[in-house]
Structure 1
């Protein structure tokens, strides 16, 4: 049967970087004063909720469209607003052909709420508030790894979502990874005593992240089974697989390997058993290669390849065939000498196979029915079965393999660099890497391959993937290390429980755990039936009991922790208790059962953070924040009325409200606005806000502008009109400028700046009309005289229709004589004139023609010839 690589896409090398995650839980009290949110072990701003069937049906369409601010469930809207929710999406995405079965199992009622963690802290609202929402029957923080900086300095670690997925990208779902970071920090990152045989394309023996940990070609090392030599040819697929298992950690280069050590020198060792080559059409040497690994110190055989079939029916008729002998050999003899004595860190070997990429319910040799031959299916960064993954009850465990259709691929080493690929080929080495970690820590005399498989599969997360995926439980490195932790945390011996509205608030202290130092979390139980607590099993409480999981996070033994169970009936007697649990869900005994009564329903509250004087200027559009909420987190409706036509209520996208008052459209006077909120139980809260719209004031002159005297043609003068006008209400003022003689000045207003340029001699008057936001008008004016400095008198215009003007500089006696073209004196007068108050001569009664004008000021005579039109 032709063997084939179980890979789908090989991408170009890509640059990457490193991150860690955190998660929501309870609050810590220090000296009963300081309260903080210990979030370091939880996904930032993420919680799982389950709606009841009726609520799911009502919300489903809206939530899938992202209508977070207007779901129609006011109780939910309120809490989502407090948390600063950014998305609410299904925990189990639409499964296509499997959707009907998913709905029968109730998977469609489970959602992930992503929220703004900083806002939630700001508003003192934790994810536990969701448990108080009508229609939510269960809440649980999204359990993940301890929050920390990246444990190693490898620059591309942050792109390796498959090791640590914090849900921070749109195509990532928090926890869709192998949960390896806690193992690195608490237990081991890999030992050089462990050898993994990579039956695949050749590993790049010159790669900066692999060369020191890959055994060189030789009689006791790597071997090329295609050419039957010890010369290893670098191959992209084999190098990628190898990097996932053992790329050197903490060396400041490239990527991290699952078992790549912690000191920059490497962790587990790799043997390259080359069965694929870039120049060969088909791989070869598979049987011998597997046996070679067993004979040369390997205790894990990594196999990202499978038998090739043309049709599904052929595959279903297939079998493990002759490969059975090689697999059995490795399982029996790996880690032992020729006499069967244990020489390695584990007696016997484990063979790990990729399930295949056909999307078929069978794949060989992975489906070989042997407990120590582990078949690996693939899931995506969205925690869905990868579209290509083979499936069936023969698949033992699932690991991240990437899914380019909906998210990123797997990042690892490729010859000479780093790149992305996807496939069960990429999922398989994740399981090999976790297995290598287990052997690194627990291996030694007496440790067997059965022990490894029990811990590997027993510690997997059986709740992470729907059983309908049929790709096994999700591999959980930390879970495998915690597997077998049989001693539960200490029982809660003292706690307080207080009813407030439809909520019961708990407070207790973190207890110890003999295996883990402290409890991993607590479950709060509430029921109206005391009988529900008889023989209560914390892991499987009765359906009539409401429960909320609260994880401990960074809290220490003895720290105060708080939790809340909401959505309860008012003024009703309930019974409650607490049970602790460890990471492996070993539960403590249930605490003392207490009787607590909830209080009566509270009316919705209407508040504002506005601290002003409620006096609205005529130029102002006031927007006053109004916070309307229900203390018991019930749904509520809001109505609004006001005697001010231009006062309105606005519901904002984030669920808050705004009182908007348009002073620019409202007459001065006193008004009121009333908000009324009514909860789903008929309880009403109302609040009236009184406000006043102040009178409007027109712009006025704050400083007079003196008349301007210019003694040059082409002279430009610039003034800022705002220097001379102001508005008592602080309005922005708009201006309209006019002038009386466009032949004297060119006037160019730009905003509040007035540019004036002299064009000819004479007098012009500038009139400025100033308007405020309500169009109230203020007017001021000034004169501009343009004079010839070489002449004692200005005589203008030179072409006269009716009026001739004569002006000197300062005010002085002025003698004016006008002579006809024949020399006859036709006009004579003595008067006064100045630049801004010229003498005016009425020439309307004179016949058209040429006239000579003589002006005497201060004994000096000026003559001009003019034309009477």
Structure 2
């Protein structure tokens, strides 16, 4: 999926916090009704609520307070806070030191957390604080979790045959002894389930660059073990704080003693290392070619030239507070990071909260730029890389599903999707995350190998492990295209990443096409050059009808680099044929289709259109750089559907008019009374009327509505027939009574037949009343086809059932006392 994702993310019912009322119960004298609030969801932090003030609101006084005695500076807020038992107000974002003005422009200074009695539901605090005039937005503090799918497997727990250890000890361009275990970088197929090439093709990339120290990656996760022997050399270090005065903000960035980053949970420069963050950091940029441990994707060549790891702890084993994480993105942007690595998501299926949304906007806009707006980093703007999640569901977790992020899902050592990996249209790219630890078809060595606590190493699996591969590749992109090239932007970086892939469609089920992103991230392809020419032309286009679907197929051309085209642009026009000709509106449009097929092979797509429609298609190939081939045209028609008869949804209730005239007119939406099983197939209904009592009621169909106008006193019937495109119909009768008005005139002399052509019923008007008339009907060959009687009412009207007649022309002969008439009619 190229470019930014289209996001359609509904709020899940369990995550919408609002006041709800219980059924009312009788109240005793003096009892005041109380609102009942929704209980806290597991995905919110109990006892906390987050507010954003209006732009013109006064800043709040922060700090801790005696219960019920809060003095924030806003009396209205203090009053409600007292009722909630509030004891603390704190800022969500630091003021930011020399970056304070920039943070204010983005509204970060308006965000506050309020701590209240945690026995009260968050929904109550949200509702009451949300009623304040100074509050622009209020939300829960949503809890988050990491996306590693299983337990750590220490190195010694993974059996590697001695022979393979010896063979692979010196494999690869660097001397790190653990590199042969990192199949995810270069898979030679030697493992039991390893498939050669199921990797990020990192060795090829390392021939050009292995990173650059000016590229800073913020690992937003557990704290990173900054003194790990395989990480220490590539840690970002705030030299001003390292060499400054303890307890002083030496670099005026708004944070004190932040040497390796910031512990957002403890609001401190103290980084408490965690296994998850340390493992992720090693994949991004463990020190390469240092004779120990493992390699990092952007870990350099052993000469101090790797990308730098900034540790932003949004999880901390020493604290249960997991709610202050938005400030991590402001810190990252202000302190030089241009990539934000995120292997976490929300505990519940929440839509994107506003607090984190504001933080992400700040990072995207300000990373790589100083407080005056000048580009100082190797890239202007920040790249957000997020793990899709490990529920194994067809949806990515937030924030990964947000269109501003680069969403990464996971791959096994054999190109396949592991069971845990989320997949959806929101996923941008596929990367190694390791096999599911519960899948016995794989060995322990099929996981991702990286750094761990206490200077150790371990295997893990999850989309958490896939994500840092992409962050590392992004660091290589910036090292090559951004360092020494002022003006390089995050949009360019994203474009390069999303054209640097290989198709995996031959290894995964077709149902995952388009759900695993553009394909497998390929570090070697980030250097692919634009050939500057249009791709070859699509050849042998063909189509095959399958009802309303068309199977479209054509031969895949190569681009200027000899690679399969990345996409196809398909434009179409459609017009009705057969029974829909002139009735169904013409259609037209354009879609872009991702290519999953090799050069010279046949690409096949299923096109779902409308029945009885001729489609004209034009298809062209588009390469990874946007060059487009000439268009090729072809046409094909869809088939017909199996028709079902229309049916009534409800009967007309009798209608009674008090009097005649326009003031008493009524209309009925006929779609509420008739339906058709083939509406979804493009079928349509047309309506016709039989009105034998035009001197009592005037009836007409106007734009799908039955319009009735009372014109004379009496009772009559209007028969409505709904007919589909195949001529199948159904009738419903409406009885109309007009209580007052002129008496209807007697029928004119002679015989009148209506409607003509007739449907199932033929109306008869004769010059006699209250009589039994003998009726005989003859076909065009003068053969008698109907013989019977018709009752003529007090006005001389009657009805004959002609539903059994075949379409054609007929003659009707009527005999009544003192009357003998004949007339002709057409049966449709």
TM-score range, shorter chain: 0.3 to 0.5
TM-score, length-scaled by structure 1: 0.40
